[in-house]
Amino acid sequence: MTLFITAKDVQSVLTYPLSLKTVEAAFKAFGQGKAYQPPKSYLTFKYGDLRSMPAYINAPGMNIAGIKSVTVHPDNHKKFDLPTVMATILLTDPRNGFNIAVLDGTHITNIRTGAAGGVATKYLSRKNSKVMALIGAGAQAYTQLHHIMLTRKLKEVRVHARSEASMNKFCVEMSKEYPKVTFLPKPDGKKACRGADIITATTPARKPIIKKSWIDPGTHINGIGADAAGKQELETALTKSCKIVIDEWQQASHSGEINVPVSRGKLRKKDIHAELGEIIAGEKKGRTSDNEITLFDSTGLAIQDVSTAFVVYQALMKKRKKPKHTKLF
């Protein structure tokens, strides 16, 4: 029987440590050639788009396939009181083609994206990193912070966003959750970035908002916001000065942080240091100097969705096998 798994079900079992561990394992499998995915395809509408994301993972403890349908409509909160991003994930048993589960994928999408930033920070930032600048204070900023806090002992988080209210709200809420960390709203993006060990950008910007002159040697940057052609958060001169690590070439060159420089002939494939999975699998080295500037270009891979959905399915199945008075669905 195909299980239908709601957002509430997902939230009941998907923790930040679990998502971090799962996404790291998925990237490693991809780096070892044990995970497969075509680049995401797009249907573009007047006010947004629909993306199709299939994947198959055949690694120890995880033999699963699936596909995510995800929509991105930036003005949804204004017009319809709906999230910008909404998704559904279909899990398929590759042994027989049976669809074992249909999951609400919105929460999974948000969490697994944050996990990718956390994994990249673990492998690419300096181990003694204490200060992070968050550029953007929307939903994704929260999940990035939660996962990065699992990998680095931050002491200060600077938050820069267009909305003063969102900056203040983020700082007040997260100060309660992490009382030992100082959260500072920073209306000036330059002041937010200067001296930061880690910079995580989660905006939908189509023109660069972070300049090379703002970045100190040794900084690690997570470029999360660029997920469609034409989006760009970092000025090209900054991107070119970094040791660039991507999640996957076809997606990154089409819709990641590097897509604009690549389309303009400013960057080529040979300028990319590695895919994150190659570093996790030990095929290539990550950070090799405390002075180099590293950049992780995250576009969001289907292997993240399918692996995370599968561990959610497994966790719920375990709960389902408990005494009958335990009601799950």
Residues 243 and 180 in one domain: yes
Residues 165 and 70 in one domain: no
Give the pLDDT score at 74.
87
DSSP H helices, 133-275, are 139-148, 164-177, 189-193, 236-241, 249-255, 259-263
Residues in the chain: 329
Residue 114 lies inside a defined structural domain of this protein = no
Tokens representing 92 are 């398929």
Is 68 marked active-site? yes
Give the pLDDT score at 321.
76
- Pick the closest to residue 30 from 273, 233, 277 (CA basis): 277
Rounded CA separation 244/294 (Å): 6
CATH number at residue 257: 3.40.50.720
How far lies 13's CA from each of 10, 18, 45, in Å? 6, 9, 34
Which entry of 28, 40, 68, 243 is annotated as an active-site residue?
A: 68
Q: Which domain holds residue 142?
A: 125-300
Residues 24 and 58 in one domain: yes
Exposed / middle / buried, residue 192 (Cβ in 10 Å: 0-12, 13-18, 19+): buried
Residues 295 and 173 in one domain: yes
How far lies 319's CA from each of 2, 40, 322, 326, in Å? 16, 33, 5, 8
> Which residues, 6+ apart, have CB-to-CB distance to 173 below 8 Å?
none
Residues 46 and 133 in one domain: no
Rounded CA separation 126/122 (Å): 8
Counts for the chain of helices (H) and strands (E), in that order: 12, 15
Give the pLDDT score at 328.
44
Residue 117 lies inside a defined structural domain of this protein = no
Tokens representing 254 are 């089409």
Residues 275 and 175 in one domain: yes
Give the pLDDT score at 326.
42
Residues 11 and 150 in one domain: no
Give the pLDDT score at 323.
54
Rounded CA separation 2/57 (Å): 20
The Cα diameter of the chain in Å comes to 62
Is the separation of the CB atoms in 170 and 143 below 8 Å?
no
79: left (phi over 0), alpha (psi -120 to 50) or beta: alpha
Residue 66 lies inside a defined structural domain of this protein = yes
Count of domains for the chain: 2
CATH number at residue 88: 3.30.1780.10
Q: Show pLDDT as tens, one digit a residue, over the chain (329 residues).
A: 999 999 999 999 999 999 999 999 999 999 999 999 999 999 999 999 999 999 999 999 999 999 999 999 989 988 898 988 999 999 999 999 999 999 999 999 999 999 999 999 999 999 999 999 999 999 999 999 999 999 999 999 999 999 999 999 999 999 999 999 999 999 999 999 999 999 999 999 999 999 999 999 999 999 999 988 999 999 999 999 999 999 999 999 999 999 999 999 999 999 999 999 999 999 999 999 999 999 999 999 999 999 999 999 999 999 887 655 444 44
Residue 119 lies inside a defined structural domain of this protein = no
Classify the C-alpha dihedral 301-307-313-315 as positive or negative.
negative
Residues 189 and 256 in one domain: yes
Residue 114 identity: G
Residue 218 lies inside a defined structural domain of this protein = yes
Question: What is the rounded (10 degree) CA torsion for 34, 38, 39, 43?
Answer: -140
Residues 260 and 311 in one domain: no
Residues 212 and 282 in one domain: yes
Query: CB 220: neighbour CB atoms within 10 A?
Result: 28
DSSP states along 235-291: -HHHHHHSEEEES-HHHHHHHSTTHHHHHTTS--GGG--EEHHHHHTTSS-----SS
Give the pLDDT score at 77.
84
Residues 140 and 243 in one domain: yes
Residues 133 and 276 in one domain: yes
